[in-house]
Amino acid sequence: MLYSIFQSHKDEQVHKWTHYFPVYERFFKDFVNKSLVMYEIGVSRGGSLQLWKKYLGPFATIVGIDINEASKKYEDEQCKVRIGDQADLDCLRKVVDEFGQPDIVVDDGSHVMRDLDVSFRFLYPLLNNNGVYIVEDAHSCYLPEFGGGLGKPSSFIEKAKEMIDVLNSYHYKKEDKVDDFAKSTFSISFFDSMIVFEKRRRGKPYDLMRGNPDL
């Protein structure tokens, strides 16, 4: 569905890798025609705001965040644009105060390691339950000009790998020592150039068994 919308899109320019579309469909399909707030960091030429509006439907509030003042021209009755740096916490706070906590965040901004980290650490805890946070164009994590590099500790991918251990921390920490990331994260998924976090409040895992063990 989303790819078909993209193929027929004739308005402002949208620039996406082809393999992103099945990922979007997998994680966004349950949001279609629901009341929600989406933040997209990085407005570029405005086309992706239009794409999300067409796909998610009329009840979605879509907020673009960009450092370029010219991005304001892509606003309409459903898509709003706020100007600011994604690593500026005051800017992010103002967006949250104005539009509320997000259900979806797509980080398609600077792709600089520090910016990815600052935005994630501020916005992810505010993501609503059952929300989705996507860091896209994550191949920048391997590029020195963005502060990345294969195996480099500052790379957001390296930090996300460490979060896998945190996600599983119920199995090696006492329950009262498990942090909120583990308690509120259902999954971390890695794709080519994308990392997807699913926010879902959960407790300690319990082992279940049903049926006759002798069969």
Query: Residue 67 in 3-state DSSP?
Result: coil
The catalytic residues are 111
Q: Are 123 and 63 in contact (CB under 8 A)?
A: no
pLDDT of residue 61: 97
Q: Are 128 and 199 in contact (CB under 8 A)?
A: yes
Q: What is the pLDDT of residues 68-112, one digit of tens each?
A: 999 999 999 999 999 999 999 999 999 999 999 999 999 999 999
Report the alpha-carbon distance of residue 141 to residue 111 in Å, rounded. 8
Span 165-175, average pLDDT: 94
Say if residue 214's pLDDT is above 90: no
Report the alpha-carbon distance of residue 174 to residue 187 in Å, rounded. 21
Q: pTM of the entire structure? A: 0.94
What is the chain's alpha carbon radius of gyration, rounded to the nearest angstrom? 18
pLDDT of residue 215: 62
DSSP string, 82-107: EES-TT-HHHHHHHHHHH-S-SEEEE
